[in-house]
Amino acid sequence: MKAFSLEGHAALVTGSSQGIGLAVAQGLHEAGARVVCHGLQDRPASLPEGASYVPCDLCAPSAPALLIEQAIAAEPALDTLVCNAGSFFDVPLLEMTEALWDRTMQLNLRSTFFIVQAFARHRAARGGGGSIVIVSSTNGIQAEADSVAYDTSKGGLVMMTRSLAVSLALHGIRVNGIAPGLIRTPLTTTWMEPRADDLLKHYERKILLGHVGEPADCTGAVTFLCSSAASYITGEIIVIDGGLTTSQIGRP
């Protein structure tokens, strides 16, 4: 269907040098969008063909506005934004420091808001319109042990998505989100693989579809939300977790 095409659109995907962000950038590219990618490191070889790339540390106070400025320089008609950048810095609760807490909120919450604000100002100056997708997590809906800062930041993104949808509707900008569950990424693999015999098997029993997700499992929902097929959808969050949060017990 042409409604799912992103031909003629230009998208910035933050945190798209690897994992979910990279898969989303590739998906948007395959749907026809021109893509600007972002990461901390030098340009990875795995980016979509023809994609622009902006490296920067979003924890720097001026980084969100600078990122949007550079993305617009690469794609002046930028009309689509996927806020995926984020990470996990938690330690056991009694060991949490102010520095780790602040770093979590700076990257996961603060940078997302100010990236959206800079993007919205750009779109408003061009007459409005556009689409934003914010990547939260099932941790924003269900808590996890020793994950208070991360859970809080992801819960904040859930409400930020809804609140931004209200505020930006006046400018014709749709704001939606996805909440991935357990997805196999460089971040999750570091703790998941060493416990393949117990913790991973536990999750595979709990996930109704029976397996941990892959980054590509998130691309369809994001592409849909960015496309005209979702033109009457705003303020919604799609959970992508294989049924992890649906059942209390898991697979029968």
Q: Which residues are catalytically annotated? A: 150
What's the angle, vertex CA 152, arms to CA 148 and CA 153, rounded to 5? 120
CB contact at 8 A, 37 and 14: no
Pairwise CA distance, residues 189 & 86, whole Å: 16
Helix (H/G/I), strand (E/B), else coil: 46: coil
CB contact at 8 A, 85 and 58: yes
Largest distance between two CA atoms of the chain: 55
For residue 66, the one-letter residue type is L
Pairwise CA distance, residues 240 & 178, whole Å: 7
Pairwise CA distance, residues 136 & 21, whole Å: 12
Buried residues in 63-97 as b, exposed as e (16+ CB within 10 A): bbeebbebbbebbeebbbbbbbbbebbbeeeeebe
